[in-house]
């Protein structure tokens, strides 16, 4: 019973951004199975994820919001507070990637990636952090980073993505220090190559180049991220803040 109490999320409310598909959808379902009421933030309503959670006996609803829209995010957070009464966990997951070398990519593409991956996560973390502080909630914010914030991926070129994720890691550490006195923990998750519907469109030659560089010689499954996220979300990680948890099959250590 003790383990269920500290590792479970019963009675907690968790926001997942970008929860319509891929990693966000899988994690949203995992948080719901751990007992949380899950709120999906996405640019378009994610009825499929909500339906999946409810059919499994969980609680969920969604709100249409663009994470780069500051007012929209503020309004969405206020709606969650009004509807659910509190926010305990955020998985700040929404993100994009453009594979293009620097001399070919446009500045507009750079700004788009930075705006979604870094500024968008900042906007969401800031809005939720403010709500937690005002309501004296000791919550957990989990920002989606990437092993690309630590290493430079090869052979694909993606300077904007790598820079955005390095920024997320350091932003996470900064917010963790700023909000420690309020009992708010801020950590980041850095996955390696994960097999998702989006990765199915990745050229075969890229995947063939990645495999020898992954000590486990395979891509990870979205479900393999759930334990790390549950740890960061639950009370068991009460003394963990400002950390970047890397789940990459050993790639960064290679």
CA nearest 21: which of 191, 161, 197?
197
The Cα angle at residue 94 between residues 251 and 5, in degrees rounded to 5: 80
CA dist 240 and 154 (Å) reads 31
As beta bridge partners, residue 117 has: none
Of residues 122, 161, 193, 251, which has the active-site annotation? 161
Of residues 165, 190, 193, 251, which has the active-site annotation? 165
Active site residue 146: yes
DSSP state of 108: H
CA dist 64 and 44 (Å) reads 5
Active site residue 165: yes
- Burial (Cβ within 10 Å: 0-12, 13-18, ≥19) of residue 113: buried
Of residues 146, 188, 190, 237, which has the active-site annotation? 146
Active site residue 231: no
Q: What are phi and psi of 162, to 5 degrees?
A: -60, -45
> Active-site residue numbers?
146, 161, 165
């Amino acid at each position: 019973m003790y383990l269920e109490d500290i590792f479970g999320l019963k009675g907690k409310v968790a926001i997942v951004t970008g929860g319509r598909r891929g990693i966000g959808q899988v994690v949203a379902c995992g948080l719901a199975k751990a007992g949380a009421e899950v709120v999906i933030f996405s640019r378009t309503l994610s009825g499929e994820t909500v339906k999946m959670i409810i059919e499994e006996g969980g609680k969920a609803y969604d709100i249409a919001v663009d994470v780069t829209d500051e007012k929209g995010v503020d309004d969405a957070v206020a709606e969650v507070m009004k509807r659910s009464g509190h926010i305990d966990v955020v998985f700040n997951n929404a993100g994009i990637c453009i594979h293009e070398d620097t001399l070919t990519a446009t500045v507009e593409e750079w700004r788009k990636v930075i705006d979604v991956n870094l500024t968008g996560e900042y906007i969401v973390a800031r809005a939720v952090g403010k709500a937690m502080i005002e309501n004296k909630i000791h919550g957990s914010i989990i920002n989606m980073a990437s092993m690309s914030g630590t290493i430079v991926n090869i052979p694909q070129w993606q300077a904007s993505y790598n820079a955005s994720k390095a920024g997320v890691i350091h932003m996470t550490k900064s917010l963790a220090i700023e909000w420690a006195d309020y009992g708010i923990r801020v950590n980041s998750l850095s996955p390696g190559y994960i097999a998702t519907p989006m990765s199915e469109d990745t050229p075969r030659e890229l995947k063939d180049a990645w495999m020898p560089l992954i000590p486990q010689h395979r891509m990870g499954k979205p479900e393999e991220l759930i334990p790390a996220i549950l740890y960061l979300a639950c009370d068991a990680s009460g003394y963990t803040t400002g950390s970047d948890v890397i789940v990459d099959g050993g790639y960064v250590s290679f």
